[in-house]
Amino acid sequence: MRRSRKVKILATLGPASSDEAMIAKLYEAGADVFRINMSHTDHASMRALVTRIREVEKRIGRPIGILADLQGPKLRVGTFTEKSVTLKVGQEFTLDADPASGDASRVHLPHPEILEAVEPGHRLLIDDGRLQLKAEKSDGRSILCRVVAGTTISDRKGVSLPDTELPLGALTDKDRKDLDAILTTGVDWIALSFIQRPEDLAEVRKIVRGRSALMAKIEKPQAVKRLPEIIELSDALMVARGDLGVEMPLERVPGIQKQITRACRRAGKPVVVATQMLESMITTPVPTRAEVSDVATAVFEGADAIMLSAESAAGKYPVEAVATMNSIAQQVERDPTYDSIINAQRGEPEATGADAISLASRQIAETLKLSAIITYTASGTTGLRAARERPYVPIIALSPVVETARRLSLVWGTHCVVSEDATDLDDMVDRACRIAYEEQFAKPGDRVIITAGVPLRTPGSTNMLRIAYIGSDGLGGL
């Protein structure tokens, strides 16, 4: 099954979409990658979901990517004697190390790292910013705050700290246990939540040791400030607009989304735009006009993938949400302004032979109006380089490694096919042309361009391109 769009769709699984039949329906509606949110999934359920996805993959015959999203540190206040209290703007309110139930003057904050790190002037946002506090004094065991906005606080509400860099590692104890379980299942991507610094990624990479690709979720101001370093150490990024919109002024989020998307495109790293894209479809069968525009904006920016969260995980219309996103993406990519916008955002290639080959293959394919760019890729690097160019023509990524094909299913424009490696150059051309013909990207008489590394089976050695005709038998010719 080939898609008629280049941006990919990432759908979150949950109570509304956890059985095999529904997963198959979501794939048929347009989902390319499935997300498992470890905030709401235990190990047994996670393994069951992976098994069901792989059964769907086997039945459909196409590589399907799986993303496991780690919860990350969840910072929450303690409890109140009356379950909740009402505060007044301007009053003092204290967060402290005392485990006693809270009242209108104080509450327990069971996170000594926050008590030690917050400094006067720092903001503390409670319950997704519904209550805003500003620190006035801090002694390492308590923080005296002033209420800036909002009036209500209740048991176990979350705490966000946009001005404070916490001395926390990337992984909580729960994350470590989840990560160990995830790595035994062969999940393709692991998303890291609430990272603040590049070192967070380095810590996880030592544990993963190449068994999965790492996606950094950008949802804290500290991560935005160190974006180039984080991109360097990541395999992909996610613009997690929900928490980012809590910790930063909402009006800054669209600009940051564009900055991250363009920085990832320049670096050749996949980027996912996520959160509240079709939020109203949790309860209604059609989206708002603003949501349609939001999805379209991400597609026009050249994001590799767009993501559904609760819409597909817990909503009433999961299949309709995926189908709607698919329809929006198809229409945007047919828009007469789409190609010119994508072309205007292209970055300069790096000064390497492999990047020069990828650039040349795009230019030749577009100049000669070829039917497809076909890349042989064992590690996925050649496929990423081809996608970085954002060519007008389709990219067929051939890999003998099923894990590589699954990871590339997240990447813009790549149609991934698991294929045995070529035995020689003639076999390479014939195999590429036959697959282009069988996958309905080309017909007899059409031409395609093939990129690969010579000698064959040498990772990272892309150094050859070749134009071939599709013969009447579906095989290639000069």
Final residue of a structural domain among 160, 186, 216? 160
State whether 317 and 375 are in the same domain.
Answer: no
Verify whether residue 217 is a known catalytic residue. Answer: yes
**Range of the structural domain that residue 143 is part of:** 84-160
Say whether both 214 and 322 belong to one domain. Answer: yes
pLDDT given at position 476: 63
pLDDT (0 to 100) of residue 478: 53
Assess if residue 79 is contained within a domain: no
Residue 447, domain member (yes or no)? yes
76 has which bridge partners?
158
Strand partners for 416: 397
Out of 164, 185, 261, 275, pick the active-site residue.
275
**Positions in the chain short of pLDDT 50:** none
pLDDT for 271: 98
Whether residue 346 lies in the annotated active site:
no
* Number of domains composing the chain: 3
30 plus 176 within the same structural domain: yes
Is residue 178 in some structural domain?
yes
Single-letter amino acid code for the residue at 113: E
The CATH code of the domain that includes 111 is 2.40.33.10
Give the list of residues 6+ apart from residue 296 with CB closer than 8 angstroms, or none.
328, 331, 332
Q: Does 424 fall in a domain?
A: yes
pTM above 0.85, yes or no: yes
Q: Do 267 and 147 fall into the same domain?
A: no
Q: Is residue 306 part of a domain?
A: yes
Q: Pull the structure tokens for residue 459.
A: 């990772």
Residues 215 and 195 in one domain: yes
One domain for residues 107 and 140:
yes
Identify the active-site residue in 123, 197, 217, 220. Answer: 217
| Radius of gyration of the chain from its Cα atoms, rounded to whole angstroms | 24
Q: Which residues contact 246 (CB under 8 A, 6 or more apart)?
A: 125, 128, 129, 160
Q: Are residues 156 and 176 in the same domain?
A: no
Q: Mind listing the pLDDT tens digit for each residue in 265-285?
A: 999 999 999 999 999 999 999
3, 76, 130, 466: which one is catalytic? 76
Q: How far is CA 276 from CA 33, 281, 282, 288, 388, in A?
A: 18, 10, 10, 11, 26
Residue 268 and residue 126 share a domain: no
CA 351, CA 361: separation in Å to the nearest integer?
Answer: 16
Whether residues 397 and 430 share a domain: the answer is yes
Does the active-site annotation cover 275? yes
pLDDT tens digits, 1-54: 789 999 999 999 999 999 999 999 999 999 999 999 999 999 999 999 999 999
Give the length of the chain: 478
* Active-site entry in 5, 6, 8, 35: 35
Long-range own/partner contacts, residues 345-348 (CB < 8 A, 24 or more apart): 345/262, 345/265, 345/301, 345/302, 345/390, 346/265, 346/389, 346/390, 347/265, 347/266, 347/388
